[in-house]
Copies of this chain bind each other. A is one copy, B any other.
Amino acid sequence: MTNKLRAAIVGSTGYGGVELIRLLASHPLVEVTSVISSSSAGTPITEGYPHLTNIRTELLDDVNPQEIREKADVVFTATPAGIASKLAPQLLDAGLKVIDLSGDFRLQDTALYEEWYKKEPADKAYLEQAVYGMSEVYGDKVRGASFISNPGCYVTATVLGLVPALQAGWIDPSSIIIDAKSGVSGAGRGASLGTHYSELNENFKAYKLNKHQHIPEIEMVLSDAAGREVVTTFTTHLVPMTRGIMSTMYATVQGGRKAADFIDLYRSYYEGRPFVRVRGEGKWPMTKEVWGSNYCDIGFAVDERTGRVTVISVIDNLVKGAAGQAIQNLNLMMGWDETLGLQFVPVYP
């Protein structure tokens, strides 16, 4: 046990934090040595999460960079936006590796961050150090890095479904429409009318039309893939379920490509990357098929009547959309096999 990498988790009482605890519990090379929560420091983590009974028995630590440094080698910051922007620099200065799951270090353009997040951006000096950890797209940059900005959940499902086609020039970058749907856990554990059971069950709703803070992050990655500025229409919906994101994406096909062509292209693009699974023709993934796992499953339909491709991409928002990809990035940072601690089967049914 002494040879394991020591990890601390800031924000352990949020859904992202508690999912990191779940996943890291079976990582062969990592040991979680500190679970941290500024709001619940000093209380047992099992008070808020009795499912951890007999699994984690310690009290929650407070946020103290020096004490974290003594206990840990790497820190996952799973905090709300606006907190990591201040905390991550202190942790980095203390000599820790940092993987940030908040949105604070995703947008290099600070004006864009202020516009969409309505918060003060992080210090430019630290922002520039952050490597954007979309594992299958920017894996080469993640290898060896010591500061990772982990992507947003909607962003992950979406860009994994669009990047290969955009990079290949197979779809018109100006035609992209993204209709995304998420389970409720994406909204976090905070109690509000927006997360109230009686309001959400037997209900389907749209929210934040054209205003979701993941829009600039999506366009940042898509523009990079297309080699030109990409602007998208992006709608988010809430599904009466706890976990899962589906991104249904529409674009105009160029060059008369068929579904089979897209399948070949994507399988080739993701070759050797075990967490992206491209389905065969006439098959589209459902969110439950990746439930609890780090997979992103993708399917295609091309309609000759309209000349459009429909791409269906699904992830578990708390795994590939948050804690799982964070661990995948840690594996890449450390030069380990990227599947370490993540090789489990989706829970079905």
Contact = CB atoms under 8 A, between A and B. Distances in A.
Interface string A277-311: 10100011111111111000100010101101010
A213 B18 CA distance: 34
A255 interface: no
Given A203-B241, A243-B349, 15 more contacts: A15-B349, A21-B345, A50-B283, A50-B297, A51-B348, A54-B274, A179-B235, A195-B198, A198-B349, A203-B287, A203-B291, A204-B241, A205-B286, A206-B286, A206-B312
Contacts of A308: 177, 233
Contact of A197 (B177, B200, B233, B348): B200
Contact of A277 (B49, B53, B279): B53
B284 A51 contact: no
Contacts of A179: 179, 235, 248, 250
A129 interface: no
Nearest to A23: B345
Interface centre among A53, A200, A203, A286 (most CB of B within 10 A): A203
Contacts of A206: 246, 248, 284, 286, 312
A260 interface: no
A149 to B, nearest CB: 24
A301 B193 CA distance: 23
A252 B265 CA distance: 29
Interface of A: 15, 18, 21-22, 25-26, 49-55, 177, 179, 181, 183-185, 189, 191-193, 195-207, 209-210, 231-233, 235, 237, 239-244, 246, 248, 250, 274, 277, 279, 283-293, 297, 301, 303, 305-306, 308, 310, 312, 314, 343-349
A126 to B, nearest CB: 29
B287 A204 contact: yes
B241 A201 contact: yes
A55 B347 CA distance: 13
Copies in the complex: 4
Given A198-B189, A240-B239, A53 B279 contact: yes
A204 B246 contact: yes
A316 to B, nearest CB: 10
Contact of A241 (B181, B184, B202, B207): B202
Contact of A244 (B53, B181, B191, B204): B204
Given A250-B177, A291-B202, A231 B305 contact: yes
Contact of A345 (B55, B191, B279, B288): B55
Given A189-B198, A197-B197, A310-B209, A286 B203 contact: yes
Nearest to A259: B209
Given A50-B279, A202-B202, A209-B301, A345 B25 contact: yes
A294 to B, nearest CB: 12
A244 B184 CA distance: 18
Interface centre among A18, A53, A285, A312 (most CB of B within 10 A): A53
Contact of A51 (B15, B209, B240, B288): B288
B196 A189 contact: yes
A233 B301 CA distance: 11
Contacts of A312: 206, 209
B233 A303 contact: yes
